[in-house]
């Protein structure tokens, strides 16, 4: 999975002399991100692999075993993800309910205009939640919530 990230980064083109910036060109009401993640089915969660005809022993979450392993479940609804988001929100002094969907995570507003730093924290947190899922699946290791926050 780390190789995929490196390949994605290599595919970006940068203009010399331009300052770094984060841009979201889509209207918040559009369901582009969720559709891109789930319709195309590129993220190899168990439900998507099953749809492709890959024979798995189960399509339940590898981390909590409480629901089907979908992108939204792994990143937001799994007990480990919820615990991680709760810790991140407390760290930032954010008092609000956890994310209810992927769109809210990627394009929602937390207390006004979204800062680039908060976006980076969200994306790193999501990556580390995914990394924990892979550790659980491939190495049978469970993540540690407090240590996860240190990584963020």
Domain segments of the chain as ranges: 27-151
The pTM of the whole model exceeds 0.95: no
Contacts 24+ apart (CB under 8 A), 126-132: 126/75, 128/84, 128/152, 129/74, 129/75, 129/78, 129/80, 129/81, 129/84, 130/1, 130/74, 130/75, 131/1, 132/63, 132/80
Task: Confirm if 41 and 51 have CB atoms less than 8 A apart.
Answer: yes
How sure is the predictor about 95, in pLDDT bands with cuts at 50, 70 and 90? Answer: confident
How far apart are the C-alpha atoms of 95 and 115, rounded to whole Å? Answer: 17
Helices (H) and strands (E) in the chain, counts: 8, 0
Tell which residue, 33, 147, 45, 27, has the closest CA to residue 87: 147
What does the mean pLDDT of the chain come to?
Answer: 78
Query: What are the tens digits of pLDDT across the range 121-146?
Result: 888 999 999 999 999 988 888 777 67
Query: What are the tens digits of pLDDT across the range 69-87?
Result: 999 999 999 999 999 999 9
Residue with more model confidence, 40 or 3: 3
How far apart are the C-alpha atoms of 105 and 98, rounded to whole Å? Answer: 9
- On the question of pLDDT at 39 being above 60, the answer is yes
């Amino acid at each position: 999975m780390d190789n995929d990230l490196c390949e994605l980064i290599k595919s970006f083109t940068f203009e010399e002399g331009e300052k770094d910036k984060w841009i979201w060109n889509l209207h918040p009401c559009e369901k582009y991100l969720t559709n891109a993640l789930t319709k195309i089915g590129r993220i190899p969660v168990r439900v998507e692999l099953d749809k492709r005809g890959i024979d798995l022993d189960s399509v339940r979450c590898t981390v909590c075993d409480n629901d089907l392993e979908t992108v939204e479940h792994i990143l937001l609804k799994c007990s480990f993800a919820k615990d991680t988001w709760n810790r991140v929100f407390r760290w930032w002094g954010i008092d609000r309910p956890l994310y209810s969907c992927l769109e809210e995570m990627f394009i929602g507003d937390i207390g006004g205009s979204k800062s680039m730093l908060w976006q980076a924290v969200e994306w790193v947190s999501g990556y580390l939640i995914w990394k924990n899922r892979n550790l659980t699946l491939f190495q049978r290791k469970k993540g540690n919530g407090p240590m996860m926050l240190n990584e963020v």
